[in-house]
Amino acid sequence: EAGVTQFPSHSVIEKGQTVTLRCDPISGHDNLYWYRRVMGKEIKFLLHFVKESKQDESGMPNNRFLAERTGGTYSTLKVQPAELEDSGVYFCASSQEAFLPNYGYTFGSGTRLTVV
């Protein structure tokens, strides 16, 4: 079974530019999450999709961040325009069904975003 795939693995952009991150969850997983880890600190929740609907986007920092999940398959996270403080590792995770016993989230390897 293929895992959660994220693209690109690294991105270096200048302040003010636009970047789009992509996440392909495990096939059949309705739940898709975006998290961010900044400067080796805690992993912070950004938002949660159930299929194509945004279940919870309370962690999105501001309106420069836009997430979509058209068709309920892959998701994109766009940052426009990027600021220096947006640098960090963006993780995507998916789960089959919210909170089945013994099932956790499967994480992708992350996209390391550096804004210079």
Partner 1 sequence: QQPVQSPQAVILREGEDAVINCSSSKALYSVHWYRQKHGEAPVFLMILLKGGEQKGHEKISASFNEKKQQSSLYLTASQLSYSGTYFCGTEIKLTGGGNKLTFGTGTQLKVEL
103: tokens are 């099932």
For partner 1, the closer CB: 43 or 66: 43
Cα–Cα distance measured from residue 76 to residue 104, given in angstroms and rounded to the nearest whole number: 22
- 36 near partner 1, judged by CB under 8 A: no
| Pairing of β 75-79 and β 88-95 | unpaired
Contact region with partner 1 (CB under 8 A), list: 15-23, 38-46, 64-72, 77-85: 38-46
DSSP symbol at 57 = -
For partner 1, the closer CB: 76 or 106: 106
Q: Omega into 8 within 30° of 0, i.e. cis?
A: yes
- 106 near partner 1, judged by CB under 8 A: yes
Where in 54-83 is the site for partner 1 (CB under 8 A)? Answer: 55-56
Query: How many residues make contact with partner 1 (CB under 8 A)?
Result: 26
Q: Omega into 25 within 30° of 0, i.e. cis?
A: no
Three-class SS of residue 113? Answer: strand
Contacting positions for partner 1 (CB under 8 A): 4, 33, 35, 41-45, 48, 50, 55-56, 91, 93, 98-99, 101-110
